[in-house]
Structure formats: C-alpha cells, structure tokens
C-alpha cells in the first residue's frame, strides 16, 4: 500500500530498474509475506495453465465429438432445460465472495475490525456455497455415468479433464474456505489490533495478512474465470 | 517494519472503486452467460468468450488484487512469465492439430 517514502522513488520502468538494482529490497513497500503469496500464485498459475493446456490439446486431438457442455451441465427447472444454470449461479456466488473479500481487505487496512471480520465470514460462506454446489454437480454427473475413463455424451477424455480441473479448483476453494473461517475468527477476536502472535509464528499479527488471504481468494476466482470460459462455455 | 509505520498504512482507495469493479464483474459474467444462452457459434462465440474472460481477469488482477497500484518491479515479475504460457499454448495447439491429423490418417485410412 501507499507509503510516504515510496512516493519519492521513481515510478514506471525507470523505477523498476532502480528497484531491481537497489540494495536489499527489490519489492519496495511490499511486505515479504505478500511477495511470497504472489510467487506461490504465479507457480499455481503454471499448474492450472498446464491443466487447461492439456485439456485444449486433448479436446483438439480427439476424433470423437466432444460432449456439448451447454447440454451436459443443463438443469431441469420446471420442465424446462436451462443451459449451464448451476455453473452460472456458481460463477455469481464466487464473484460475490470475491467482492466481499476485496471490501474486507479495505476495511482491514482502515482498522475496522468488525466490518472486516464479518465480510471475511461472508466470503467464507460464499465459498462454502460454491463447494456445496460443485459437490452437487459432481454427484449429478457421476449419477449420469460420467467417469474419468468414459461418459455417455461423447469423447472419453471429457470425464478425466472435468474431474481433474474442477477437482483441483474445488480443492483450492475448500482450503481457502478453511483459512477464511480461521481468519474471520482471528479478526473478530482482535488479533490484528492487539498484534497477538500467531500459532505457528512468533511474529505479530497484522492486517496485511488479510490482504495476503485476499490475494489467494481472488486468485481462486480468477482461475474460475478461465475454467468457466474454456471448459463450460467453449 | 516498525509499528508506527504500520499504523500510518491506511488504504487510499475509496469504496466506490471496489463497488464499481464488483458491478462490472457481474455484468461481464452475465454477458458471458448470455453467449451460451443465445447459443452463438463459431468465431463470434470464441471472440466474445475470450473478450469477457480477459476483461474479467484484468479487472480482478488490477483492482481486487491491487496490481494497478503496485510498483512495476512486482507487476513485471508477475506478468512476463505469462508469455511462457502463451508460447506453450501455441506449441500445444500445433501439436493437437498434428495428433488429430495422424489419428485420422491411421485410424480411418490405415495410413494409406
């Protein structure tokens, strides 16, 4: 975030060259934990990219027709077949939780303990809803006979890519939900105001932790944007 | 970082920015769902999907993840590796075309 000493440094690419060539700290004004989260997210980007690229290659190279996701993921509502309904709701739920997280980070830096805590809790509940709907979607498809090695709709590779990609993303959401609940409790308890030392670390708690948690949560939403586009809509 | 410095660190972003981005993300998601709803096909479908996808991803990264306000040292370290992914996509797209070509050749014509 903004720091008075940072404003005096050169900006843009000139600033980048100066930062990289400077003593001790390349990422000026960025807490080390935040840099580490970004590096982790970068590596995670490569993992998800590998999944999506292998999906692209698999789908492009099969000689059998790919199942139509619009029909496979359709829901019957009142006798009408609504395409991709559940997936659309899941997308909106995840974006909602991303928004509450962004606001939680903002209120955290403003030292508004209650707003921050409750918004993190809202984010966690949104994430939990998302995982619940994904579990429903998985059980529905499994019930219809979709397996990693076969499915009744078309190309056999469909199942393995579906379970692998959405499963890995769902795992990320689940881990995020667990951490959101832990941090909601820590925030509401006032750990970040009193600087209470954490369970695993001797360092004092700080609201920057909320931003780091937020980065992870937004990344989960970001990955879903790509999965939604490439797996469900394409 | 000493404690006094931490206390000075107050976000300068107004709530309106977040609400605007939030609203835009909803609208863009709605549009991308509409692409499927109206069952657009072919080049139009792919262009629309990619446009909405990149707009959403950009908004999330720039504003929700604060990259717009970060110094270039961090931004460039994070974004340049994406070119490697772009290269990988290009390579595997070509590879996929070749695989389907050889499959069609050998599965259906026996290589003749």
Average pLDDT over residues A166-192: 95
For the stretch A114-168, pLDDT in tens is 999 999 999 999 999 999 999 999 999 999 999 999 999 989 999 999 999 999 9
Distance CA A134, CA A76 (A): 17
Which chain A residues are closer than 8 Å to B89 by Cβ? 53, 56
Which chain B residues are closer than 8 Å to A9 by Cβ? 71
User: Closest to B26 (Cβ–Cβ): which among A9, A19, A95?
Assistant: A95
Res. B94: pLDDT tops 50: yes
In this structure, the answer to whether residues B54 and B96 fall within a common structural domain is: no
In this structure, the answer to whether residues B101 and B66 fall within a common structural domain is: no
Contact A20, B77 (CB under 8 A): no
Res. B29: pLDDT tops 80: yes
Q: What angle do CA A219, A221, A227 make, to 5 degrees?
A: 105
CB contact under 8 A, A62 and B18: no
Q: What angle do CA A198, A202, A203 make, to 5 degrees?
A: 80
In this structure, the answer to whether residues B10 and B65 fall within a common structural domain is: yes
User: Closest to B107 (Cβ–Cβ): which among A9, A57, A63?
Assistant: A63
- Beta-carbon contacts of residue A66 (< 8 Å; ≥ 6 apart): A59, A154, A155, A158
In this structure, the answer to whether residues B65 and B12 fall within a common structural domain is: yes
In this structure, the answer to whether residues B7 and B48 fall within a common structural domain is: yes
Q: Would you list the DSSP string of A180-227?
A: HHHHHHHHHHTHHHHT-B-SS-SSBP-THHHHHHHHHHHHHHHHHHHH
CB contact under 8 A, B26 and A3: no
Contact B13, A106 (CB under 8 A): yes
Average pLDDT over residues B20-26: 94
In this structure, the answer to whether residues B53 and B8 fall within a common structural domain is: yes
Q: Is B111 helix (H, G, I), strand (E, B) or coil?
A: coil
In this structure, the answer to whether residues B91 and B64 fall within a common structural domain is: no
Distance CA B39, CA A99 (A): 29
Res. A4: pLDDT tops 70: no
Q: What is the pLDDT of residue A77?
A: 83
Has residue B75 been placed in a domain?
A: no
CA-nearest of B16, B15, B10, B64 to A111 is B10
Domains of chain A, CATH where assigned: 13-233 (1.20.120.80)
- Where in the sequence is the domain holding B57, given as residue range(s)? 3-70
This prediction has a pTM of 0.91
Segments in chain A forming alpha helices (H) = 12-20, 32-61, 69-72, 85-109, 113-143, 157-189, 191-194, 208-227
User: Closest to B93 (Cβ–Cβ): which among A49, A58, A60?
Assistant: A60
Has residue B76 been placed in a domain?
A: no
Q: What is the pLDDT of residue A1?
A: 45
Number of domains in chain B: 2
Burial class of residue A42 (count of CB atoms within 10 Å of its CB; 0-12, 13-18, 19+)? middle
Answer whether A92 touches B (CB < 8 Å): yes
| Best residue in A5, A45, A233 for a mutation probing chain B (most B CBs within 10 Å) | A233
Contact B76, A230 (CB under 8 A): no
In this structure, the answer to whether residues B85 and B43 fall within a common structural domain is: no
For the stretch A5-61, pLDDT in tens is 787 888 889 999 988 888 888 898 889 999 999 999 999 999 999 999 999 999 999
Query: How is residue A101 written in tokens?
Result: 């997280």
């Amino acid at each position: 975030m903004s720091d008075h000493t940072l404003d005096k440094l050169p900006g843009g690419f000139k600033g980048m060259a100066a930062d990289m060539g400077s003593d001790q700290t390349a990422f000026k004004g960025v807490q080390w934990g935040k840099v580490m989260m970004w590096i982790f997210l970068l590596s995670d980007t490569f993992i998800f990219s590998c999944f999506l690229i292998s999906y692209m290659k698999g789908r492009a190279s099969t000689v059998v027709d790919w199942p139509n996701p619009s029909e496979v993921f359709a829901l019957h509502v009142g006798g009408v077949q609504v395409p991709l309904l559940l997936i659309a709701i899941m997308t909106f739920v995840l974006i909602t939780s991303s928004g509450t997280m962004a606001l939680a980070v903002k209120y955290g830096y403003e030292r508004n303990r209650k707003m921050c805590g409750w918004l993190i809790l809202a984010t966690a509940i949104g994430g939990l809803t998302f995982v619940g709907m994904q579990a429903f979607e998985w059980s529905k498809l499994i019930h219809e006979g979709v397996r990693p090695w076969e499915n009744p709709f078309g190309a056999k590779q469909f199942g393995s890519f579906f379970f692998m990609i959405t499963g890995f993303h769902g795992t990320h959401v689940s881990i995020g939900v667990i951490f959101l609940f832990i941090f909601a409790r820590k925030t509401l308890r006032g750990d970040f105001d009193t600087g209470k030392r954490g369970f695993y670390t001797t360092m004092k708690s700080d609201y920057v932790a909320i931003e780091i948690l937020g980065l992870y949560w937004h990344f989960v939403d970001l990955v879903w944007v790509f999965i939604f586009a490439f797996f469900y809509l394409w | 970082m000493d404690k006094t410095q931490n206390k000075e660190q107050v976000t300068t972003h107004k709530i309106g920015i977040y609400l605007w981005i939030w609203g835009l993300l909803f609208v863009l998601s709605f549009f991308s769902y509409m692409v499927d709803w109206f069952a657009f096909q072919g080049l139009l479908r792919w262009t629309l999907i990619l446009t909405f996808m990149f707009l959403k991803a950009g908004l999330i990264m720039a504003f929700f993840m604060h990259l717009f306000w970060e110094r270039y040292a961090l931004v460039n370290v994070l974004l340049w590796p994406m070119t490697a992914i772009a290269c990988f996509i290009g390579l595997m797209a070509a590879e996929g075309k070749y695989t389907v070509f050889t499959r069609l050749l050998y599965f259906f014509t026996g290589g003749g």
